[in-house]
Every structure is written in C-alpha cells, then in structure tokens.
Amino acid sequence: MLRSVLDNLRGNLVLSTSLVLLITYVVYTFIDYAARRRKMPPGPRGVPWIGNRHQVPSIKPWRKFAQWNREYGPVTSLFLGRTPVIVLGTAQAAWDLLEKRSDIYSSRPRFIMAGEILSDNMRGLMMPAGENWRKFRRVYHNGFHSRKADTYRDIQSLESKLLMFQLLHDPQNFEKHIQRYAASVVVSVVYGKRIDSVDEWIVKENMDAMSYMTSLNIPGKYIVETWPWLLNLPKSLQWFRRMPEIRRQRDIKLLTHLLGDVKTRVEAGTCPPCLAADALENREKMGISELQVAYTVSSPFGAGIETTAGTTLVFILAMLHHPEEMRKAQAEIDKVIGQDRMPEWNDVDSLPYVRAVINEAMRWRPVAALGGSPHASTSDDEYNGMFIPKGTTVFANLDGIMRDPGTFPNPDAFVPGRWLPGHPLASSHPRLQLDTFDLPFGFGRRICPGQHLAGNSVFINVTRMLWAYNFEPVDNDNLPDTWAFTNGSNSWPQSFPAKITVRSQLVQDTVEREWEAAKEALGRWQ
C-alpha cells in the first residue's frame, strides 16, 4: 500500500517536473522571441519556432518582401524558423550595409543540403566568406575582370552573328536561339569549346546538376536545415544524406571530365584561352586542388546562362509593349551605323539611347529578382538604431529595389529616357547614371563577377537585334502579360509569341554576309 502511494507520488513528481520544464521552455521561447524581435528592424509578426515561414510564399517571395518593405520601411526583419532575416528594399540600404559594411555582410547563410552535403563546400556561389571563397573570387576576377572580359568579345560577336542569322530564318523560335547563344558563350569562355544547341549533353548534364541543387534549396523541405544538430548523428543514421551523396559522385565525374578535356586540349595546343585553362595554369600558385578548379569554373552554368538569356527576353517583351521606344532606339542606330554594316563594339559610345533601353529593361524586370543568393552577416551590427544580429540572412530584394519610387519615380513605367541627363525622371545619384548602373548585378564583395561579360553579351545582341529586326506582338489585342515570369530565384519571361521581321533587304543581305564570314572563325572554338 505504502509502496504504491510512493510510486504514485514519484510518478506525479516526474510528470509535474516535466510539465513545469516544458511550460518554462515555452514561456522562455516566447519571451526570447519577443525580445529579439523588439530590437530588430520592424517587420511582420511571426510565431516562435516557425517565425514568419508560413507567411513567405514559396513562389515569387520577392513580391511579398516588397510589400513588407512598403509597409515597414527599407529594412524589414522577419524570422525563418529561428534564423533572423532582413529584407533590404532600397538601393541606399543595400549600399549602406552590403557595400559600406561589406566586411561583415559578405558571407552566405548555411546551405546544408546543397552547399555542404551535395557539394562538400566546393560551390562558390554558396560558400561562406573565408579563404576558399576568396580563392574562388580570385579565379573569377582573373578570368572576367573588365579588360579580360573584353578579350572574349570575339567569340561573343561571332555567336551573336549566328543568333542574328537564326532570327532571320527561324524567328518564331527566338527564345531557343537566345538560350543557345547564352549557353554557347558560357561553355566557350569557360571550357574553350562552343556548342550548337542547348540540347548538347554538356549543357543538359550541367543544367540537370543545377536543377537538382536548386531542388534542395527549398525552405522547409529538409528538416536538417532547421535542426543542424542532426548532423551530429552517426552518418549511417543521417537518412537525408543518401541521395545528395550519390549525386555528388555524379557531379564530380562530370566536372573532372570537363576539366580533363581542357587539360588535354591545352597540352595539344588546341584550346583557345578560357577560364578553365587560366585556372589550371594558376592552380598551384593559388593553392587550389584540381577538384576545386573543376567546381569553381562550373558556376556560370547556374549563374550566367539563364540570367543573360532572361535579360534579352525581357528586352523583347518590353519592345512589344513599347514600340515607340523601339523606334527611337532604331532611329539612333540608323543615324550612327546605317544598314550596310552590323553594329560593332566600338559603336557603344555613340548609342546612348540603346544603352538607356538596356538599363531600363534590367531595371524594369531584373531577372535576379531576389538579388541572387542571400548574403549573411558575420557580426552583430546596428543600422539607424536597429539591431541586426550576427548570422542574419540578408536579401537585397532587387525586384523591390528597382520598383522603389524614392529611387525610380514612376517605377512601373518603362522609361529609357530616365537614364539620360535632363530627363524629368533622371536620377542625380552618381551610381544611377547611364554608365554606372550596376544594381542588377548585386552588391559588395559578392557582386556578380560575370557582369562585364554579361553586359557585353546584352549590349551586342540588343543593338544588333534593334538594327536588324522589328519586334511586334503577334496579336495586337492580346499582348503577352508583362508579369508572367518563371518561378525560381532567377525569374525570366514565360514563353511568349512575338513577330520578328527583318527591317530591310539591305539588312538581310548584311546578316547573311556576316554569318558566312563568321562560320570559319567559329571553327576554332569547335
């Protein structure tokens, strides 16, 4: 009898102690959450443990972010689980934090599945700031800094001549031709070998690897991203590792094969100058392994193809909606160039209106809508009286930044004139001039290392397209939706129809002639 009373009491004691501990933990979590939240920049109310995760749409989150910035100010905070997040909604806030304080805002958040398990921390785009990432940037700086990027103008021009020829003979498949251009330039400048179709295995395999990688980066999909302590379990119990580890072996095989091919051609003296050959040559000096080189040079598959092609498609979409702007740009080209020769690189200074059209297309619908991958802070910080804790994930929400009326008055309108001095919407900010606009390429030490190469591609193609073709809607009463963009962190126009017609017989003859002359030169890159 006594024994059962004692057992009962003991049982109750354990139960009530557990209950007290649980309640204390819950109360503490609420108080801790409220305290952390109070010090941080304003933002939407969330709930402990999940934060605002349930309020962030998995599709096109940048639109919700922009709405929060309008409501709460240029620096808005939220929580994804227990991770603090800030969203920057103006160019000034992004410059202030990501550039002026780049020493503490240049890291990346942890990407456990995609960055650590799948890629063994080899993929630069996801690398935290540190020695390995600095080496990654050095490879890109050496390969694509402004003057070096200009050495790739030859191949870009040749590929662009092919694009003009394809638009002449198969205009309805313009999207495919533009993607082919972007893919071939990337493969050429990285591996010294061009491609004829986006269906070639080198593109397909790499794009497949990229899409598997992005499929791992969906917030909430993998529990280990929220509970990293699961990584302390014995490896055999970490069920989530199995597939990414298999895929890692496949990636390594692909990337080392591509690098091996470059090595063979370098040794045979048949490889044109390219990023992989440069990196191999400087590998020992930089202290990186061949595997690191193989991963490092593969980044443009994820970073440089869809972005370049998407920007060109945005330009065409804008032309369908703004024929008056197309005609102004064409008038400038006709005056400077005429129709019996193609625009060339050295025409750039004489074509301010064309460049204004390009800037405006990149502002109007930035393809890196969320600013590329988010940054992460590596120290506690304070900005305008607001506390930003170490480890905060930082989104520079380009879609919102480009539509901030304080920076770009009448932001929803497509107005190339705003990039020209004297226009009523022109900005006086030195960073927002015709030649200085680099917001589409991100910020600070993480700024896009391919920006000069990409800028050259967009310039030569847009200028030649305006010179050669008229872009019109197929159905004037039913124009393509200017908001119908793909999902995913890079976002470009969903397929749309366009009527592309050559502007004159003289232009047609020039396109044919230039392509004939280009064919032989392209052979060197085959």
Does residue 407 bind ligand HEM (CB under 6 A)?
no
CB nearer ligand HEM, residue 161 or residue 365: 365
Nearest approach, Cβ of residue 493 and ligand HEM (Å): 14
Nearest approach, Cβ of residue 356 and ligand HEM (Å): 17
Nearest approach, Cβ of residue 288 and ligand HEM (Å): 15
**Alpha-carbon torsion (407, 404, 371, 323), positive or negative:** negative
Does residue 298 bind ligand HEM (CB under 6 A)?
no
What number of chain residues touch ligand HEM (CB under 6 A)? 30
What 8-state DSSP symbol labels residue 128?
A: P
Does residue 367 bind ligand HEM (CB under 6 A)?
yes
CB nearer ligand HEM, residue 97 or residue 454: 454
Residues in 115-174 that interact with ligand HEM by CB under 6 A: 124-125, 137, 140
Q: What is the DSSP string of 420-453?
A: STT-TT----GGGSTTT--GGG--GGGS-TTHHH
At how many degrees (to 10) do helices 242-267 and 201-216 cross?
150
- Nearby residues of 236 by Cβ (< 8 Å), 6 or more positions away: none
Residue of 108, 134, 130, 144 whose CA lies nearest to 371: 108
Nearest approach, Cβ of residue 34 and ligand HEM (Å): 32
Does residue 493 bind ligand HEM (CB under 6 A)?
no
Cβ atoms within 10 Å, residue 36: 15
Residue of 189, 185, 106 whose CA lies nearest to 143: 189
Q: Binding string to ligand HEM for residues 83 to 122, with x set by CB under 6 A, is what?
A: ----------------------------------------
Nearest approach, Cβ of residue 385 and ligand HEM (Å): 25
- Tokens, residue 474: 């197929």
CB nearer ligand HEM, residue 305 or residue 507: 305
CB nearer ligand HEM, residue 33 or residue 345: 345
CB nearer ligand HEM, residue 247 or residue 375: 375
- Nearby residues of 415 by Cβ (< 8 Å), 6 or more positions away: 360, 423, 425
CB nearer ligand HEM, residue 131 or residue 324: 131
Residue of 411, 418, 401, 122 whose CA lies nearest to 249: 122
Residue of 123, 117, 412 whose CA lies nearest to 239: 117
Q: Which of 46, 192, 442, 493 binds ligand HEM (CB under 6 A)?
A: 442
Q: Which of 46, 84, 304, 400 binds ligand HEM (CB under 6 A)?
A: 304
Cβ atoms within 10 Å, residue 447: 17
Nearest approach, Cβ of residue 394 and ligand HEM (Å): 9
> Which value, to the nearest 10 degrees, does the dihedral of the CA atoms of residues 26, 29, 32, 33 take?
-120
CB nearer ligand HEM, residue 150 or residue 472: 150
Q: Which of 109, 400, 440, 493 binds ligand HEM (CB under 6 A)?
A: 440
3-state secondary structure of 87: strand
CB nearer ligand HEM, residue 168 or residue 367: 367
Does residue 271 bind ligand HEM (CB under 6 A)?
no
- Nearby residues of 181 by Cβ (< 8 Å), 6 or more positions away: 159, 160, 162, 163, 309, 312, 457, 461
CB nearer ligand HEM, residue 113 or residue 303: 303
Nearest approach, Cβ of residue 86 and ligand HEM (Å): 14
Q: Is residue 187 a contact partner of residue 202, using CB atoms and an 8 Å limit?
A: yes
Q: Which stretch binds ligand HEM (CB under 6 A): 27-35, 231-239, 437-445, 513-521?
A: 437-445
Please tell me whether 448 is known to bind a ligand: yes
Cβ atoms within 10 Å, residue 267: 9
Binding site for ligand HEM (CB under 6 A): 124-125, 137, 140, 186, 299-300, 303-304, 307-308, 311, 367-368, 371-373, 375, 440-443, 446-450, 453-454, 458
Residues in binding site: 448
